[in-house]
Chains A and B, each alone.
Chain A
């Protein structure tokens, strides 16, 4: 236990970096996922096909393989970026596909009649999306989005496998190498992850109750 008490700052630092990685990934993947979703419901066939192909392809690659491809593969063809940034980009490209699937299910839950009513009032395609579809779609997918965020947080630990040692799992590995007490160190790391998942889950429950759409 002294290992933990003596290294609280290490865990704190690791936790902070993990949160930063997760939040950046969530935001980037959310933006790209939204773009993919809009393409997939747009009236333009090539956009629909391209977005669908992207989702089907990228979600079929294991995240670890994608990370290795980006961090170790791309430099072989001269594409070198900062390690942390590259890892975040790879994770965002991956999680965007799940965002897109989740958002699409939310969009499908918006009654078609409301979309027609909006069109009949003279809203453009963009306005229908922004004013009617997305606000309702987002309300119905708060819980699935929370699950997605939890998955992003937990899997941010994969970054350690490609050398991002600053984040929580990476820091824990370093402590493990120093003290050789994996049960204690990784046990503590696990508690940190559980705590984050718990907080996300609870917040989502609260938001869901506050924003639920009454039908």
Chain B
């Protein structure tokens, strides 16, 4: 009933399981189920994210948004179903998994910068150790990316010396340094003071405009309207609606989505 949108020209989201693979899909999720012991956290999720697409995931707390993100790069194991990134199933273990993880950059709510390293080292470490770039090249790359997020002047500092917004911008640069195919952002602004939210959203909006493929969990409706190609609404571990932002915000088809929007937007 819901979500069977086949908006023309839009990479489609399939709520039904039978859809064929979409060769355009950078992320392809089919019949994903996730249990924490006996607790059924994600129910039969089907979702595609196309190359260059920005998908925003919204939904009440506890609806499984973080778990979905974490399943995509296997920070959580999945119980059943298939997740493919760039056409390859996400492997369960080992070096292959590490390689695949590198293709899906992750930005966390709590930044998670390495506190014993400087800002520049935070960004350069993975390119040196995982991509095996030379130190010089990795440092040059780090400085370039820090410039892009407006943090080049702080390259020598430690994370503890930065504001939340600054830390999150560094975390974005760190994820980009792996040159990922897709960026997964799990509530990137939820831990920030209000005056710092915009500087992070600006960076994300810029990336979206440059064609970065992104899956962003957020409560920032302004960002969703502006940057999203599609909005996914989740509740109780299910995807309840997938729609273009225009339609989703002005005329939500799903009752619970309408409820949720009413609550969030009045705040």
A contact residues vs B (CB 8 Å cutoff): 111, 113-114, 116-124, 127, 131-132, 135-136, 139, 213-215
Contact = CB atoms under 8 A, between A and B. Distances in A.
A113 B101 CA distance: 16
Given A122-B99, A122-B178, A213 B110 contact: no
B160 A215 contact: yes
A127 B111 CA distance: 20
Interface stretch (B122-130, B137-145, B232-240): B122-130
Contacts of A135: 116
B110 A120 contact: no
16 contacts: A113-B110, A113-B112, A117-B106, A117-B108, A117-B112, A120-B104, A121-B101, A121-B126, A121-B175, A121-B178, A122-B126, A122-B130, A123-B126, A123-B129, A214-B158, A215-B160
A131 B101 CA distance: 17
Contacts of B160: 213-215
Interface residues of B, number: 31
Interface of B: 73, 75, 94-95, 98-99, 101-102, 104-106, 108, 110-116, 125-126, 129-130, 158-161, 171, 174-175, 178
Given A120-B104, A121-B126, 7 more contacts: A114-B112, A121-B175, A121-B178, A122-B98, A122-B126, A123-B126, A135-B116
Interface of A: prevailing SS: helix
Given A214-B160, A214-B161, A215-B160, A121 B130 contact: yes
A122 B178 CA distance: 9
A119 B75 contact: yes
Given A113-B108, A131-B129, A214-B158, A120 B115 contact: no
